[in-house]
Every structure is written in C-alpha cells, then in structure tokens.
Amino acid sequence: MDYITGIQTLKKEKNAVVLAHCYQNVEIDNIADFVGDSLYLSRMAAKTDADIIIFAGVYFMAQTAKILCPDKKVLLPDLKAGCEMADMINLQQLRNFKSKHPDIPAVCYINSTAEVKSECDICCTSSNAVQIVESLNVPEVLFLPDKNLGKWVEKQLGNVKVITYDGCCPIHHNITTDEVLKAKKQNPETKLLAHPECKEEVSALADYVGSTTGIMNFVKNSSGEKFIIATEKGVLDRLKRDYPQKEFFSIKENLICPSMKLNTLEDIYNSLNNETFEIKVDSDISKKALKCINRMLEVSTAGVK
C-alpha cells in the first residue's frame, strides 16, 4: 500500500496535521506538516486549527500537545514510544526534590510528564532553557530532570545556581570525551556540534552546542563543509539529505533513540485511519500543566525578534 498517499488523503478528509520530531525516521518527513524540535512543535500545536493532531514523537510530546489543545483529538501512533529521561522522575520524586530545596522555583524540561509539569513553575526546551532560567531573575533554580542541560545552563549564565535532579538522556549522556576526541582526530578540520543533553565535558569540546533545530540551523548558516554531529541519528539523517554537498560524521554508530524510531508510516496511517491511540490528560492536571507550558511560550515569544 502507498501509505504516503493514504495519509495525505486522510489528513484532508479529517482535517488532521502531523507533527514530527527531528529524531523520527526520516521518511516520516514526507507526510509531516511540521518537523522540528520540541519548542517549535509546541508552538505549532498551540496554533493549529486542525481537528486531529498526529504526533510522530514520544508520549510526553503528545501529552504536551493535548494540554495545549484540550479540545482537539491528539493521537500517538505507538503507545510504547516513551522517554527514558521523562520516566526518571514522577510526581512523588518531584515533591521530594522540591522539599529538600524549599522556596526555590522549579524549571522542568519539556521531557517530563504532565503530572510533573503541573507542579513546576515553568517549562523549558533545549532551545530556550538559558532564556527561561534567566527570565526568572532569581539566584537559584531547581532544574529537572536533565542534570546535563541544567549544568550547561548554569555555565552559560554564570550568575545563577542551578540545582539539578539526577536525570539524563541515556543516548546523549553515554557520549564520552574519548569518543569525541577520536572522532575529531579521524576527521580533522571538522566542527563538532553537540546537544546540551551531553555531559559538560563533551559540550566543552564542541564548536557549537544547541537544540536539534539549532544544530541544523548552524549547518545551514555555516560556510564550513565538515561536521561531527553529537546528537540522535535523526538529525544526522536529515542533514545528509538536506546538504549533500557537505560531509557529516557521527560520534558513534549507535546514537539512536529506540522509542523515537518506533513510529512508521504504516503506524501513522493506521492511527489516523482508526483514530488510535488517543492521548488524554486529567483536566485538573492539564490546567496546572498548561500554566507551566504557557509561561514558557510567553517568555519565548517575547524573545523572538
């Protein structure tokens, strides 16, 4: 079956849009209306006038879309598409973390559940984490669940103490300095582009540190011809496709998020055709989490020029 044509037909019939994260299988871009990082996709979810949102991503992303669009039907093609980082903190663990550091605002990475977002002050993504923490104008913040992103933010600002929860993205956290140095030695005269979910010592070796969209924009605007990519393989695949005249190298072969690769064109077709699997969020949790997300969007929008 031609799933691409089938999906495009169903999208028109059902007034549906497909949001796809940059870590998805690259062929999904053929049917996606919007492809990007978490901040961009959050903005698109908030703006869409579609009746159905298909989220080609992982569970917390679909949850976020549902929180932003409570009156729309939000579908996740594969319910097994979760996030190891988001699963590292639950509501009770958040409360315990906050109780040890009372009266300090809590910033949660978008890679967290609706329940966690509902008891944090503001949300952030890797695109805007520095801006969000700075906007609070306080000497200390709690940051969760990603300790690497939190400490990277602390280093960028210099005047804010970032108290981090002990969570991480296993894909990025497992990149080592030895692997980076080896890749740089094997590929001289290349620029290293890294995601801030990498460990601090890895980020320190990078020529640029930024979100998935940030990395792709860096390549787009750079006169350089060779790049080492220190993030999930989906970004590397898209860069190779979009800039065939340039050379790209991965730190190692297994930089793959298994959950992000679960969604297929067939899954998306079946999800849209049968309207499965619908994501629902408790209304009270959703209202509280919405304040956390909207506060982020307001700060980020104010910073857009």
Q: Are residues 92 and 160 in the same domain?
A: yes
Q: Are residues 121 and 156 in the same domain?
A: yes
Report the C-alpha gap between 236 and 258 in whole angstroms: 16
- Asked, for residue 255, whether it belongs to a domain, the answer is no
**In this model, does residue 214 exceed pLDDT 60?**
yes
Is-above-0.85 flag for pTM?
Answer: yes
Residue ranges of alpha helices (H) inside 69-205 are: 91-100, 114-117, 129-136, 147-157, 170-173, 177-186, 200-203
Percent of the chain with pLDDT over 90: 96
**In this model, does residue 101 exceed pLDDT 60?**
yes
- Asked, for residue 235, whether it belongs to a domain, the answer is yes
Q: Residue 302: pLDDT band by 50, 70, 90 thresholds? A: low
Q: Are residues 78 and 111 in the same domain?
A: no
Which pLDDT tens digit goes with each residue over 154-192? 999 999 999 999 999 999 999 999 999 999 999 999 999
Output phi, psi for 141, to 5 deg: -140, 155
CATH classification of the domain holding 156: 3.40.50.10800
Q: Are residues 15 and 76 in the same domain?
A: yes
Q: Are residues 131 and 178 in the same domain?
A: no
The structure tokens listed for 283 are 């209304």
- Asked, for residue 190, whether it belongs to a domain, the answer is yes
| Residues facing residue 107 across a β-bridge | 122, 143
Average pLDDT over residues 46-74: 97
Which pLDDT tens digit goes with each residue over 244-274? 999 999 999 889 999 999 999 999 999 999 9
Report the C-alpha gap between 131 and 140 in whole angstroms: 15
Q: Are residues 146 and 293 in the same domain?
A: yes
Q: How many CB atoms lie within 10 A of CB 13?
A: 10
Report the C-alpha gap between 83 and 92 in whole angstroms: 18
Q: Are residues 203 and 242 in the same domain?
A: yes
- Asked, for residue 33, whether it belongs to a domain, the answer is yes
The pLDDT of residue 305 is 34
Q: Residue 70: pLDDT band by 50, 70, 90 thresholds? A: very high
The pLDDT of residue 139 is 98
Contact yes or no for 79/115 (Cβ under 8 A): no
The pLDDT of residue 301 is 76
Report the C-alpha gap between 21 and 36 in whole angstroms: 5
73-75 and 52-56 beta bridge pairing: parallel
**In this model, does residue 303 exceed pLDDT 70?**
no
Q: Are residues 163 and 145 in the same domain?
A: yes
Q: Are residues 175 and 165 in the same domain?
A: no
Which pLDDT tens digit goes with each residue over 109-134? 999 999 999 999 999 999 999 999 99
Helix or strand (DSSP H, E) at 290 = helix 283-303
Give the CA angle between residues 137, 45, 37 to the nearest 5°.
65
Domain that holds residue 201: 171-250
Number of domains the chain contains: 3
Contact yes or no for 95/73 (Cβ under 8 A): no
- Asked, for residue 57, whether it belongs to a domain, the answer is yes
Indicate the residue type of 92.
Q
Q: Residue 150: pLDDT band by 50, 70, 90 thresholds? A: very high
Q: Residue 231: pLDDT band by 50, 70, 90 thresholds? A: very high
Report the C-alpha gap between 77 and 16 in whole angstroms: 14
**In this model, does residue 242 exceed pLDDT 50?**
yes
